[in-house]
Amino acid sequence: MGMAVDVRNRIAKRAAKEIHDGLIVNLGIGIPTLVADHIPQDIHVLFHAENGVLGTGPSPEPGKEDPALCNAGGFPITTVLGASYFDSATAFGMIRKGYIDITILGALEVSEKGDLANWIVPGKRVPGMGGAMELAQKAKKVIVLMNHVNKQGESKILKTCTLPLTARKSVDLIITDMAVMEVTEEGLVLKEVMAPYTVDDVIRNTEASLKIHAAVNTIE
């Protein structure tokens, strides 16, 4: 079950609200790449890509793509004033030294403890781990953007992940097409729901145990 473009952008727009002035942010492949399109002009942020760019901008307009300028997933990007280029070793050095304030990643599964599985489905070919393992462990904040359920309608937010893990207890915030949930020491807290879904809808479609925030906001 694919996710409509407007829903993907809705998730990305909500994630953009977590980004504040002056941060260094890494965007993963998939929905996270759309986050750059929703940053207000008065917010100055440097987006980081593992292939060696600091200062990526919004997606280019159709027909204005630069074939030599792409993100780590190979998709066309733009750059902002002050952007810099370097090799992948330097890009990964920034990650390993903890210079990334926020990483926004896609996921296959997330557990109620914040365990992340996002790199492989056994038996399927994949290009490799990429930077996800290091980003999930070293970024100061880890935000996951994902479908709430899989193609079979089963929850992707679980008590325990069933797929090979990328990192344990690494996720801080989960944003799906249904809800926004924070991973805390006390458990997974439901803080917002995406209209037209309700709190009951989210509970019914979540295998993991949920604590309900005292004032759950609805994102219209």
Length of the chain in terms of residues written: 220
Residue with tokens 């593992």: 50
Q: Partners of 24 in the beta sheet?
A: 46
Whether the CB-CB separation of 16 and 38 falls below 8 Å is answered with yes
| Whether 50 is catalytic | yes
What is the biggest distance separating any 2 CA atoms in the chain, rounded to whole angstroms? 49
CA R_g for the chain? 17
In 3D, which of 210, 146, 202, 204 has the Cα closest to residue 178? 202
| Amino acid making up residue 102 | I
Q: Partners of 53 in the beta sheet?
A: 49, 85
Candidates 18, 50, 61, 185; catalytic one = 50
Which residues 6+ apart lie within 8 Å of 214 measured at CB? none
Whether the CB-CB separation of 136 and 167 falls below 8 Å is answered with yes
Catalytic machinery residues: 50
